[in-house]
A and B are shown apart, each in its own frame.
Chain A
Amino acid sequence: MTERIETDVVIVGAGPVGLFAVFELGLLDIKAHLIDILPKIGGQCAELYPEKPIYDIPGFPVISGQGIVDNLMRQIEPFKPVFHLGEMVEGLENLGTPERPRFRVRTDSDKIFECKSVIVAAGGGSFQPKKPPIEGIDGYEDTGVFYAVRKMDAFRGKRILIVGGGDSALDWTVNLQPLAKRLTLLHRRDAFRAAPDTVNKMRSLVASGEMDMQLGQVVALKGPAPKLEAAVVRRDDGSTYEVPADVMLPFFGLTMKLGPIAGWGLNLHENLIPVDTEKFETSVPGIFAIGDINHYPGKLKLILSGFHEGALAAQKVHRYVYPEKKLLFQYTTSSTSLQKKLGVVPEKRKEPETV
């Protein structure tokens, strides 16, 4: 069932720059929906370095990755942004004109958005599972090679090879072992980063002969694609052997990929989107790019740059969303109407007495 949503702006990416864009748009009465492939809000800050201190956010001598995300969420709360997490934008159709842009945005869960502007705040690209560089692996994907487990039952009775040493690999080892015909865990060394409790469970299963744990790395896959039959494993000493498997689950974390953005008709420069430095608009009127994903002379990949770029882009977006309205520049410190939108109207001042 296709869900259709009509809104002013679709923001691609819910990292810090996409989040702050909601604020700048909100001050101008512009409504936004944000789409992100991660199941959580916060982009690279939340995914790669939530605990790490950041020292170059204006006004914050030091703040953690997650801290800046939490603060931004509080800051944009008055504007009630809508988030669509765990979804990737796939299609972007241009339905309007350069003067009156209109776009249809489609996600990989077939949700359709119709909007007047699109702001691409995709950072380094969408986070996707890291694929092992094994020749022909594409041919086995979704039949013999999986990067995530959606339905555990699909793995019942299969010979399973899980590759990795972190929580994902160990959790799935423990969860799938009872269902599997035979389960093998493969890792490059005999040390695991996963929770000690799960590692211990794995060690007991190995000790009791209910599963295998081996050291090595997969260098090739065998079987008439799409049917996987075995993985070729290389040991530390360079020798190889085969592990029979119907299914392989490699857990090597996430990597960032430009993905479908590459096919939207935007001029690209080395996987970055060139923009003008007045409004941060791309080569397509109505599509803007802010944050790490954009490119212009002098560009610095700083969060603070993305904040600034969003503020300026919002000014042009206002012209597309409210073509008849005049845009008056106001300060949040002195404008009652802005403060009302933020929900922070101060106490009524006493009127001066008239002479």
Chain B
Amino acid sequence: MRVIHVIDHGGERHTLEALDGWRVMEIIRDWNLPLKGTCGGACECATCHVFVAPEWAGKLIPPSAKEEGKLDMVPLTQKNSRLACQSLFRPELDGLEVTLAPVSG
């Protein structure tokens, strides 16, 4: 069983079973953690903002121009900010750790 680890807004760490080919946003949402994916993964709403743990940041496929453009719409980002809907889970990401970003008003 492959997994991802997600740290929620309260700092609690959850280990979630992850299926190949699914968007990381979908995995997090399907396990009922509070990550909105309002646009359903279309890279339109930037509500699936996460911080990727430093040791994993380089293993994700770099953001497309569209993802960078949508990250521009998030008022406060960090170097390791990504939109979780733009990463598809694959075996090499087994053990991926992300933290849910604070939700802006």
Partners in one complex: yes
Q: How many chain A residues touch the partner (CB < 8 A)?
A: 27
* In the bound complex, CA of A253 to CA of B77 (Å): 15
* In the bound complex, CA of A201 to CA of B5 (Å): 45
Cβ–Cβ contact B105 & A133, under 8 A? yes
CB distance from A17 to the nearest CB of B (A): 16
Residue of A nearest to B46 (CB): A253
17 A-B residue pairs with CB within 8 Å: A48-B39, A48-B42, A48-B44, A49-B39, A49-B42, A52-B42, A124-B38, A130-B75, A132-B75, A132-B76, A133-B102, A133-B105, A166-B72, A166-B73, A189-B68, A252-B74, A252-B75
CB distance from B72 to the nearest CB of A (A): 5
Cβ–Cβ contact B76 & A217, under 8 A? yes
Per-residue CB contact flags for chain B residues 53-74 toward chain A (1 = under 8 Å, else 0) read 0000000000000001101111
Report chain A residues within 8 Å CB of B79. 236
CB distance from A227 to the nearest CB of B (A): 22
Report chain A residues within 8 Å CB of B3. none
Residue of B nearest to A187 (CB): B72
Cβ–Cβ contact A256 & B39, under 8 A? no
Report chain B residues within 8 Å CB of A134. 75
* In the bound complex, CA of A219 to CA of B38 (Å): 26
Cβ–Cβ contact B72 & A132, under 8 A? no
Which label, helix, strand, loop or mixed, suits the secondary structure of the A interface? Answer: loop
Report chain B residues within 8 Å CB of A189. 68, 72
Cβ–Cβ contact A219 & B76, under 8 A? yes
* In the bound complex, CA of A256 to CA of B69 (Å): 19
CB distance from A248 to the nearest CB of B (A): 12
Per-residue CB contact flags for chain A residues 203-239 toward chain B (1 = under 8 Å, else 0) read 0000000000000011100000000000000001000
Known: A49-B39, A193-B72, A217-B77. 8 other contacts (CB 8 A): A49-B42, A49-B44, A130-B73, A133-B75, A166-B73, A189-B72, A236-B79, A252-B75
* In the bound complex, CA of A335 to CA of B97 (Å): 61
Report chain A residues within 8 Å CB of B45. 48
Given contacts A48-B44, A49-B44, A193-B72, contact A188 B77 (CB under 8 A): yes
- Check: A319 CB closer than 8 A to any chain B CB: no
Report chain B residues within 8 Å CB of A165. 72
Cβ–Cβ contact B104 & A132, under 8 A? yes
Report chain A residues within 8 Å CB of B102. 133
Find residues 22-59 in chain B having any chain A CB closer than 8 Å to their own CB.
38-39, 42, 44-46
Per-residue CB contact flags for chain A residues 47-70 toward chain B (1 = under 8 Å, else 0) read 011001000000000000000000
- Check: A15 CB closer than 8 A to any chain B CB: no
Find residues 310-333 in chain A having any chain B CB closer than 8 Å to their own CB.
none
- Check: A250 CB closer than 8 A to any chain B CB: yes
Contact among A52, A133, A166, A193 with B76 in the assembled complex (CB-CB below 8 Å): A133
Report chain B residues within 8 Å CB of A1. none
CB distance from A142 to the nearest CB of B (A): 16
- Check: A164 CB closer than 8 A to any chain B CB: yes
- Check: A191 CB closer than 8 A to any chain B CB: yes
Cβ–Cβ contact B68 & A250, under 8 A? no
Contact among A130, A187, A218 with B104 in the assembled complex (CB-CB below 8 Å): A130
* In the bound complex, CA of A24 to CA of B105 (Å): 36
Per-residue CB contact flags for chain A residues 126-137 toward chain B (1 = under 8 Å, else 0) read 000011111000
* In the bound complex, CA of A236 to CA of B77 (Å): 10
Residue of B nearest to A301 (CB): B40
CB distance from A75 to the nearest CB of B (A): 25
Going nearest first, the 8 A-B pairs with the smallest beta carbon separation are A132-B75, A131-B105, A133-B104, A253-B73, A165-B72, A193-B69, A48-B44, A252-B75
* In the bound complex, CA of A131 to CA of B105 (Å): 5
Given contacts A48-B39, A49-B39, A133-B102, contact A217 B75 (CB under 8 A): yes
CB distance from B71 to the nearest CB of A (A): 8
Per-residue CB contact flags for chain A residues 152-166 toward chain B (1 = under 8 Å, else 0) read 000000000001111
Find residues 89-105 in chain B having any chain A CB closer than 8 Å to their own CB.
102, 104-105
Report chain A residues within 8 Å CB of B74. 252
Given contacts A131-B105, A189-B68, A191-B68, contact A250 B75 (CB under 8 A): yes
Cβ–Cβ contact B72 & A188, under 8 A? yes
Contact among A131, A218, A252 with B73 in the assembled complex (CB-CB below 8 Å): A252
